[in-house]
A = this chain, B = another copy of it.
């Protein structure tokens, strides 16, 4: 039954991939851009990875791609020579401005025929499952089984 979530997630990824492909983006790169915008420029990779709920190496790879596309850049962080701060480039900011309009069609296609109440229920249930899963995994790691 949790498999249904996987199916929807893969379809959603395909839809987003299609929607942002005119901007030379993919779902994962798009997600990084959006969350960087949401978190605010100048944040660390660690903070961004936490926000995205992915591991650092996954983010490292995606950031390399975005940096190669000159959409995002890493700058040395003041006060910590290990860390980087993340910033949009000029071009990155222009792309961000265009994003919403490309995504909107997907959003309305997916959520269009659902009521606000249903979306609220969905968010609530999914959040509960997420927290349940976190708890399960945390519990079954400290112990051997």
A residues contacting B by CB (< 8 A) are 1-9, 11-16, 18, 31, 53, 106, 109-114, 118, 121-123, 125-130, 132-137, 140
- Binding site secondary structure of chain A: helix
For A129, the chain B residues whose CB sits under 8 A away are 8, 12, 110-111, 114
The answer to whether A132 touches B118, judged by C-beta atoms less than 8 angstroms apart, is no
Residue in chain B with minimal CB distance to A35: B3
11 further A-B pairs in the complex, CB-CB below 8 A; given A2-B9, A109-B136: A4-B130, A6-B9, A8-B130, A12-B133, A14-B137, A15-B133, A15-B136, A18-B140, A114-B125, A114-B129, A118-B125
The distance in angstroms between the C-alpha atoms of A6 and B1, with both chains bound, is 14
Residue in chain B with minimal CB distance to A112: B132
Residue in chain B with minimal CB distance to A117: B121
The distance in angstroms between the C-alpha atoms of A31 and B133, with both chains bound, is 19
For A130, the chain B residues whose CB sits under 8 A away are 4, 7-8, 11
For A135, the chain B residues whose CB sits under 8 A away are 109
